[in-house]
Chains A and B, each alone.
Chain A
């Protein structure tokens, strides 16, 4: 991760960068621990008793209920339960899903691939399209292209993504029958490896589009405003006075400086992307973590819920950490002063 370019790349930069990374990682640990405790308390506060789920809705002997409660340690004080929970977490044990008859870690592990595929595709689309639209809007400020991009962003940001998903299904899957409406591959598929991945692509188009629209809108707006800020900076005038081509001025100076706020907004929206993917996965029957979360809530499957909450929190913390690191890589002032 060396931010300097041209001929002047040196060792000290990588050393300060390494120190910076270590510092940021160390800062993330207590945050993650806090998240674990918070999740635990949150589930305890939620209405409903997990024992009911284990025993069933039918009236059971008092003795049997007590036995189950003791077996799962649910009769111990909350603090002790928390310590036990943390101890298990430290060993990588996220618990056992009664509803799915499977370890939570294994269950999430099976579902994380499709979710990542969906999220990363949507994020890449959103960054490429959003940033491009923002650049076009800023370049043609006040012109028709700017108006169209801005109006589009307003609509795109306002449209609920689950509704948009259903409209896309009606239009492209039902009426036009161009693309499949549900799942991520044909039920009869036997493909493995890369072929299996290729097979998912047509299934990916609609959910990834529905998921990315809001972020395209958001990224185009932030790109536009960041570009406009930088376009009026003195050093851009200075760069033009050096006789640089307009493309070079835009890429090397304007977009590079504008990328700081853009990267921040992208990074801090990964959490929103996860939330959005839960809805989109439900609409498109995409077999990912989001849908698993939806199912686990309806089934009151607490271990799965806490497991997913923990994973999502970890993902958000990781995304923020990566954002800070990207920021440091882009901006030497951050690297050297903190």
Chain B
């Protein structure tokens, strides 16, 4: 594998609630190689977005903090940087795009000004206007000069997301964090945005950390995948291997629950039960209450994760791999 540019180790992120600090990201470790597209997949509320925000140390909720861990980026621990040093990393070396492009654009500012903002903030040496024009063109938007003068309410959702991507790519970051970048978009536009991101990776060599709940997006885009469940990473593998031979019962269940043309005639599959409340987590494996092959050990001891690139947090991997465990539930 090539050089690692982002290495998150034992990351713990907490949000403040009435009863105290609640761990929403619990001892999460993962890494991203240079120019690699890495996926972080899981159900909503599993902590994948909070993991992304932790990297930037910016949170949508005011009372959130990275409690411990390390975020090694370009040989520096981002958690140890002074606020001003961190500001120089944001937008310049690590950029981020978000789920809903409509709310992440300032309604009172033209798209051109918003695209150029990181350039001005990080003292871009060249011609800001020309660079902005190039970016808009690179995003595949028609009539760059006109688009740059438009306000967010005058363009479509897809164009908004392209403008956000243009802004994120303006300073040629080494890592782009994309938090559900296609979830709020139409299906046809989704494919275009994914294509655009792949092209950008090819052209600029930027690595992408792609956060999504959509396994289809993962399959199409990612080199490697981390699967998250209830604040923890439960499985990590290359995309090919993960889809070919999922090892964790949760991953297997996720794959079973995707809708495909072949399965259209049969009943839709869903993992029984619900994601545990983070306030009342099981003592052992967090997936044990929903797992068809859980035993006494699962209920009492949290499973151990061996290494970060090909790991699975399960006590019964052999059993899970041996038979199609989720078949037991079909037709129940």
Contact = CB atoms under 8 A, between A and B. Distances in A.
Interface string B87-123: 1111110011010100111111110110011100110
B154 interface: yes
Contacts of B87: 243-245
A23 interface: no
A235 B105 contact: yes
Interface stretch (B29-37, B72-80, B145-153, B190-198): B145-153
B112 A239 contact: no
A301 to B, nearest CB: 49
A19 B134 CA distance: 34
Contacts of A331: 107-108
A30 interface: no
A237 B118 contact: no
Given A8-B149, A234-B60, A241-B90, A330 B106 contact: no
A175 to B, nearest CB: 47
A7 B154 contact: no
Interface in A96-124: none
Nearest to A254: B106
Interface size range on B against A: 35 or more
Interface string B133-152: 00000000000000011010
A243 B89 contact: yes
A18 B12 CA distance: 55
A248 interface: yes
B129 interface: yes
Interface in B51-85: 56, 58, 60, 62
A242 B167 contact: yes
A237 B60 contact: yes
Interface in A1-33: 3-8, 10
Nearest to A240: B58
A257 B154 contact: no
A232 B103 CA distance: 11
A331 B109 CA distance: 9
Interface size range on A against B: 20 to 34
Contacts of B90: 240-243
A282 to B, nearest CB: 42
A238 B104 contact: yes
B164 interface: yes
Contacts of B167: 242
Interface string A254-276: 00110000000000000000000
Contacts of A252: 109
Contacts of A5: 109, 113
Given A242-B167, A332-B151, A234 B98 contact: yes
Contacts of B62: 232
A338 interface: no
Interface string A309-328: 00000000000000000000
Contacts of A143: none
A163 interface: no
Interface string A219-247: 00000000000001111011111111100
Given A241-B95, A253-B106, A257-B108, A4 B149 contact: yes
A240 B86 CA distance: 11
A10 B149 contact: yes
A8 B148 contact: yes
A26 B121 CA distance: 44
Contacts of A7: 112, 128-129
Nearest to B90: A243
Contacts of B107: 235, 257, 331-333
A336 interface: yes
A252 B62 CA distance: 21
A215 B216 CA distance: 57
Contact of B154 (A237, A238, A239, A336): A336
A3 B109 CA distance: 9
B134 to A, nearest CB: 14
Contacts of A256: 106, 108
A241 B112 contact: no
B85 to A, nearest CB: 11
B110 A233 contact: no
A120 B108 CA distance: 28
Contact of B112 (A8, A234, A238): A8
Nearest to B100: A234
Contacts of B96: 238, 241
A15 to B, nearest CB: 14
Contacts of B118: 242-244
22 contacts: A3-B108, A4-B113, A6-B113, A8-B149, A10-B149, A234-B98, A235-B105, A235-B106, A238-B96, A238-B98, A238-B104, A239-B106, A241-B56, A241-B95, A242-B95, A244-B121, A245-B121, A253-B106, A256-B108, A257-B108, A331-B108, A332-B107
Given A4-B110, A238-B164, A257-B106, 17 more contacts: A8-B148, A10-B149, A232-B62, A233-B103, A234-B98, A234-B104, A235-B105, A235-B107, A237-B60, A239-B117, A240-B58, A240-B90, A242-B90, A242-B118, A331-B108, A332-B108, A332-B153
Which 6 A-B residue pairings sit nearest by Cβ, starting from the closest? A243-B91, A243-B90, A242-B91, A234-B103, A238-B104, A332-B151
Interface of A: 3-8, 10, 232-235, 237-245, 248, 252-253, 256-257, 330-333, 336
